[in-house]
Amino acid sequence: MRISAVLAGLRDALPIMLAYIPIAMTFGVLCVSHGIPWLLTVFISVWVYAGGAQFMLVSLALSGVSVLSAVLTVLLVNLRHFMYGTALGPAFSLWREAAKWLFAFGLTDEVFAVTSGRGRTGVPDVWRQVPFAFACYGSWVAGTAIGGAVGEAVPSGVADVLGFALPALFIALLFSCPRSVQHLVAALVGAALATVANLVHLGSLGILVGALTGATIGWGWQATRTRRAVAARSAADAVPKE
């Protein structure tokens, strides 16, 4: 029974693994081609394992920003994982704490997408979920190691082109988000403020300001629309019916 659950988890992971390897290879090539040692490059993927945030972390480190600014930026990028854990928490309440921590380490956007649907139908099988998450993790680390190994042989021009992987990844994430007025407002405000901050040489602080301000305005826009809708329904209900 456990073997079949493990095999099912590995089957779940296969599509994600095939997508992770080339992106992780790009990360490895970028790091090594910019002077980061291969061992440290692999260690970043082993310890951080944060996809787009790893690209951002390396970019900020190479640009010479302060450690505090880099840490805050990466934490902000990964703040969505707090919401992932909150959403999945009830379905995993019967798991042992050690298993919860193991799975939490391997929780990514793609792992959450697969797991969230499964959690609605009952308690997820630990023997399926943990191998599933760590197979994805292993593919990311392996891709990084391979990319780092060939990174020194990649011309600097090609490595600079691969640097577009980070903004391309975030553009893809943006288009995969729900399309509504409040999301559009949040994205546009955040992008505009980050651009202005960059023009006045505020560095990565602009990312923090843009993201927080954009998210706050988007939330305020949605809250205002919700209050207006509730008020309109209340007014309609108060009108006497003939």
Residues 132 and 114 sit within 8 Å (Cβ to Cβ) = yes
Examine the pLDDT at 159 and tell me if it is beyond 70.
Answer: no
pLDDT at 176: 56
Whether 177 has a pLDDT exceeding 60, the answer reads: no
**CB neighbour list of residue 237: distance below 8 Å, 6 or more residues apart:** none
**Is the overall model pTM greater than 0.75, yes or no?**
no
pLDDT the model gives residue 205: 62
Q: Out of 24-38, 53-67, 145-159, which region has the weakest mean confidence (pLDDT)? A: 145-159
**Per-residue pLDDT, 175:** 63
Mean pLDDT over 147-161 rounds to 73
What is the secondary structure of 36-94 as a DSSP string? --HHHHHHHHHHT--THHHHHHHHHHHHT--HHHHHHHHHHHTTHHHHHHHHHGGGGTT
Quote the DSSP letter at residue 120. T
Of 106, 151, 155, 154, the C-alpha closest to 131 is 106
Q: Which of 25-29, 74-78, 137-141, 154-158 has the lowest mean pLDDT?
A: 154-158
Q: Which residue has the higher pLDDT, 219 or 9?
A: 9
For the segment 185-229, what is each residue's pLDDT rounded down to a tens digit?
Answer: 777 877 787 778 777 776 556 666 776 777 788 778 777 877 887
167/97: higher pLDDT: 97
CA distance 158 to 211: 30
Given a cut of 90, whether residue 39 has pLDDT beyond it is yes
